[in-house]
Chains A and B, each alone.
Chain A
Amino acid sequence: MNQEEQLKVLEGLHTLETIAETLKITKQAALNLLTKLKKQQYVTVQGGGRTKRLYKITQYKQLPRDEGMFDIINKYSPNFKINPWYDHQVHGIYGPEEALIDALQTNSFRLILASLRLFNHIKNWQKLYKLAKQDHCWQKVAALYDVARLFLKVRTMPKKYSNLKIEKRWVQLTQLKKINFPDIAQKWKVYIPFNKNDIKEIQ
């Protein structure tokens, strides 16, 4: 059996034993094969130590990744994970500030809801403001911040950013034109699609 066929047969999650059993080889031979495939980037390992090692084998190379929007949001949202619908990677500087702005561009209810958690990790408000200005979405950022601080632990936004003039036009975060949290919605002229129960899911 050549390597291409081996990968085809093995594709998926395995333990050392299941690899040996599938290929009808000894454990030592399976270990040698795994070492070779790992070097070629066809295998990644999960677990080890007290937990059983699991080998993820694919027919394509599992290339090292740079973090993107979904990675950052999932990292800071422990109870509410997003299943990425495309692979987003940024090769360069990328942090919670950029991820928040990118999340707003998607208009996705779940993604924007999960991004509320990012307000506890914003270190550079000036950068966030600059990025939001470029995308004309400071209104949305400020409204989300006000909602987030009602339920979640957030870093304090400098006062100079919290009282800025905004456009008079109402804007939508998602396709839903709901006005939850009417005071905040009115202040920033932003339709807020999620309610208290939605936010409880991410707490």
Chain B
Amino acid sequence: MINQKDQQDLFKLISANIKQDIECFALGGTAMMFYGYKDETKDVDLIFQNEEQREIFIEALKKLGYQETSPITIYIAEKLKDPNKPLMFKRGESRFDLFVKKVFQTILNPRMKEDIFAIHQFKTKHTFTIKVLKTEFIVLLKAVTERDKDFEDILTIVKKDKMFDWNYFLDEVLWQTQHGDGWVLLDVEKMMQELKKYVFIEEKYFKKLYQKEK
């Protein structure tokens, strides 16, 4: 587990070890910690815009003693076959899941890149910029990763974020479906059905989702 302070310190260390300025997007538990929704996380999930930037980041991780680890016990079998599965690095209790352009079949699209919640820049020798995605995108990406505790995190976000916009969320689901994500509708429907047991979700949102399925 890695807490807020450790995370900040770690990012500062990374910024001191990268060979040029890099930028990535935070999703998952890391993003939730930036929101103040969570005190600690098992894994730091980051998505890069290109392979070159991920390589620079990995180089820095290796300098800090991180080693590549297998995703076998973390992700379900279907996801492991996906070419866009993450590269994973571990050191002690902390783990990095590093994606490029896509989280499995879900694309880091222009709307995700522009409509962000926060920018955190860690400056030492070089600048390591982390852009924190909006909650709607975090929920979407958590729905498609389906790891332990992902549902718990989704529940926390939906409960705490009073501005959570279901229409915005479902529009993104549609966009991803239209752009080749074959899993997103099924994953989201499953997640929303489960979520309904804990929080109130208006029926119209399910109708919107089913219309999209047709």
Contact = CB atoms under 8 A, between A and B. Distances in A.
Interface of A: 11, 41, 58-63, 68, 86-94
Contacts of A88: 118-119, 121
Interface residues of B, number: 23
Contact of A90 (B8, B123, B160): B123
Given A91-B8, A92-B15, A62 B121 contact: no
A89 B132 CA distance: 11
Main SS of the interface on chain B? mixed
Interface string B108-146: 000000001111111110010000100000000000000
A112 B67 CA distance: 44
Contacts of A59: 159-160
Contacts, number: 52
A101 B8 CA distance: 24
Contact of A91 (B35, B37, B39, B120): B120
A91 B117 contact: no
A88 B132 CA distance: 10
A60 B160 contact: yes
B11 interface: yes
Interface string B1-41: 00010001001100100000000000000000001110100
Output the residue of B121, B122, B160 with the most chain A CB within 10 A: B121
Contacts of B117: 86-87
Contacts of A63: 4, 36
A144 B37 CA distance: 41
